[in-house]
């Protein structure tokens, strides 16, 4: 199910934003409360938009186009590599 997220200054308010960005989804990201409400209305009233976003979520889990969000093994390897690099600076 597509989500709507409100970007804020705290880390927890940026998680939804990071989630959508990682999946390549730009729709549903609000910078203020008005946009947040507008996205909720759009997703609730535009079945084509909702379907398109659902398809993007499904596509992000396919083996050929697997998003890093769904690949914890690759994430762990990348994080380890980054930590090793930072340690050697």
**Sequence ranges of the domains in the chain:** 5-87
| Residue 1 banded pLDDT, cuts 50, 70, 90 | low
pLDDT at 38: 95
pLDDT at 5 over 80: yes
Mean predicted confidence (pLDDT) in 6-13: 81
Quick: pLDDT tens for 34-80.
Answer: 999 999 999 999 999 999 998 888 888 887 777 777 788 877 888 88
pLDDT at 9 over 70: yes
SS3 5: strand
pLDDT at 45: 94
- Print burial letters for 23-32: b (CB count within 10 Å at least 16), e (below 16): bebeebbbee
pLDDT at 50: 92
Architecture of domain 5-87: 3-Layer(aba) Sandwich (3.40)
């Amino acid at each position: 199910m597509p989500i709507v997220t409100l970007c804020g200054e705290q880390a927890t308010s940026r998680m939804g934003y990071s989630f959508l960005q990682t999946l390549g989804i730009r729709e549903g990201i609000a910078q203020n409360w008005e946009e947040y409400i507008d996205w909720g209305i759009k997703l609730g009233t535009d079945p084509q938009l909702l379907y398109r976003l659902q398809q993007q979520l499904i596509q992000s889990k396919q083996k050929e186009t697997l998003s890093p969000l769904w690949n914890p093994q690759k994430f762990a390897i990348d994080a380890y590599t980054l930590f090793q690099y930072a340690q050697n600076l």
